[in-house]
Structure 1
Amino acid sequence: MTAITDLTLDLAAVRQDFPILEREVHGKPLIYLDNAATSQTPTAVIESLSDYYRRYNANIHRGLHTLADEATAAYEGARARIQTHLNAFEPREIVFTRGTTEAINLVANSWGRANLQPGDEVLVSLMEHHSNIVPWQLLAQALGIVVRVIPVDERGVLDLAAYRDLLGERTRLVCVNHVSNALGTVNPVAEMARDAHAHGALILVDGAQALPHQRVDVQALDVDFYAFSGHKVYGPMGIGALYARASLLEAMPPWQGGGEMISRVSFDRGTEFAAIPHRFEAGTPAVPEAIALGAALDWIDGVGIERLAAWEQWLLAHATQKLEGIDGLRIIGTAPDKASVISFVVDGAHAQDIGLLIDQLGVAIRTGHHCAQPLLQHFGVEATCRASLAVYNTPEEVDAFVEALQRVLGMLR
């Protein structure tokens, strides 16, 4: 394990950026270990939202007045910021959505309905969040496509040999998360993309859990679609984005109709749609949230994604070592390449009871199926406890969490 002193992260300065970490819960200092569900928000992001409403709140693209111009410039500037962060080729490859779920549904209902035929196959990994399973099941019911499942082994690692066997002449799309929200497994997306493309298939990646923990380069990964959410990456809720190759977006029909996504509407001559990406952004968008998402990415770059990742990996190793010392505790998901997520079950204790009681000690963890029921059923469990770490967490918080867990288990057993 790397020594803490070898890491250059200024942890005190990082924590000062998050005012919520100063509060208490049930009279105890808050220990927030539910970052895979929602990360906390730094002051820079909060101030970005406040600044928008205080200085230039206006609808974008359509107005000729100063506030509209300023809001439009900031909104499109955030799009360019995301393009840079993902190393997309151009800003028009970035579509703003409400989050990862809407981004995947956009692909399913636009690209999927336009390109998939009865008997076509979509490969979906067993470790997917429900948002990357259910849209494809709905298309299977509507279009007669076939959803095939890429299995995982007992460690929570994708079976790549089985994946390659599943790829065939009817495979049209591969759907996989970059990082599992339930296990923390980091999947070999670039390798999977190469195999998919060799069979003439596209690949869609759920990047919601990857972007907070590592650098993402969509060109290097060679993916066709990449979706993520703002609230997982220190940004606001209600905003996210879809990266898609421009050539794909150009050929995709609109999913939702309304204002902004058109260039001309006529009852006599029909409707002409706007150029990409605006074709897929019907109605008034979440303007301040999009701008604040750009501020969140600026904050990450200010910390340094490499420093952030190194610190989280140290915390993951420290927490794993501590938890492995608890009798009857079993970690679910032991892949050699993991993000800072630990799911576990304990003999004789229900996950929900642990979650409720440990909250009384000021510790916030997630319990349940984590919107990954097929995966948990594969491991023979209905629910786990999940502690997910972020850059602002400390070794002292990890130790306090483990101590609180042991106290709770003493009450339950």
Structure 2
Amino acid sequence: MQTPISIFWFRRDLRLSDNVGLFKALQGNHNVMPIFIFDKDILDKLPEDDARVTFIHDTLQDMRSTLQDNFGSSIGIYYGKPLEIYKSLVETHQIEAVYTNHDYEPYATERDQEIKAFLNGQGISFHTYKDQVIFEKNEVVKKDGDPYVVYTPYMRTWKAQFKTTDFKFYPSEDHLNNLVKATHLPNLSLEQIGFKRATQVIKPYEVTPKLIQEYEATRNFPAKDATSRLGPHLRFGTVSIRKMVHKAIQEENEIFWQELIWREFFMQILWHFPHTKDKAFKPKYDRIEWRNNAEEFKLWCEGNTGYPLVDAGMRQLNETGFMHNRVRMLVGSFLCKHLLIDWRWGEAYFAEKLHDYEMASNVGNWQWVAGSGVDAAPYFRIFNPTSQIQKFDKQLEYIKTWVPDFQELTYPQQMVDHKMARERCLETYKSALN
């Protein structure tokens, strides 16, 4: 007779501490077997040396070692389609319940509905919890129940609501003795899931009191490298959002706090308006006649546009998997406005390259620069890629780092004249929107 167990399914919450779903599972009636599934449907679309896959794999191995060394437990690691994995787990284990944390992206919500229906059909309960945000779905809405589509009022309501919320942590780390005692759960190497170790590395995050206090003064200057590098860690849940918000409050830094709120703003937008992942939030913007010149797109991707600040950003992205936020706005605007290339092309390129890629923020920010999204920059705001250097890289430190050839004869000519491109963009947008 098998011993009944619960399963905790790790996804975007790769940590043992302050993990809501894990905490709830460990409080249940049965010992818990943690698992992670490398989802074939997601992995098939990625390059074989994707740094994010290496990062997830390394994080899981560290967590397994911690559990094996200290609790006589482990994490079962699987590869395949999640539904197929659950079908086989049900045959080999007596599962009473599955616990996990919410994931809000359209693919994930569909997948979870399918898994829940299958498990319920087997008499197994499926529990999911809010973990990667402070507020989700309909929790911060207007008085009439409609979602906010402008950031500032959303942020104000978020803050007001936060002040009246019972803010607490979920010390899952204190209950790890309730895991199933089994150190030999299935494991997989990177090669077994069709990948090889990436050369790019996802850096540890740095959220020191100094960084938070100086954040407003330094965050717009790409040469300073004064950003927290929190993005991938929030994306994969190696850090708790509750601990980061708590830190921002302790340091009494509104600007750093508001950046965390931006993330939640875009996540609730995607949840309320799932069509925005590939359609303009403002439908009339889908009437724009993009030029979509493949050769020009290639030059942009490679960082060979002839505009040093744009090229610096793209070369930094290609080499490191990271791009400074201020520069992201410029390269995005350049693609959509100067070259009249569809924001979806840029969004897909960033999705492939960015270590901190998160659909909600990526789509939200690309639609912002294209003018087609919520709370968007008006279409007639077109960044001048040359005057931006004066504002944000006056000493050319960032440019010299990533475009050392910018003053040499080999450096490409500007692929498009700014004045001409600006006028062409205004004309194109006007004819589509009027």
Output the TM-score relative to the length of structure 2. 0.30
The structure with the largest helix share of the pair is: 2
- For normalisation by structure 1, the TM-score amounts to 0.31
**Relative contact order, higher structure (CA 8 A, sep 6+):** 1
The structure number with the bigger radius of gyration is 2
**Greater strand percent: which structure?**
1
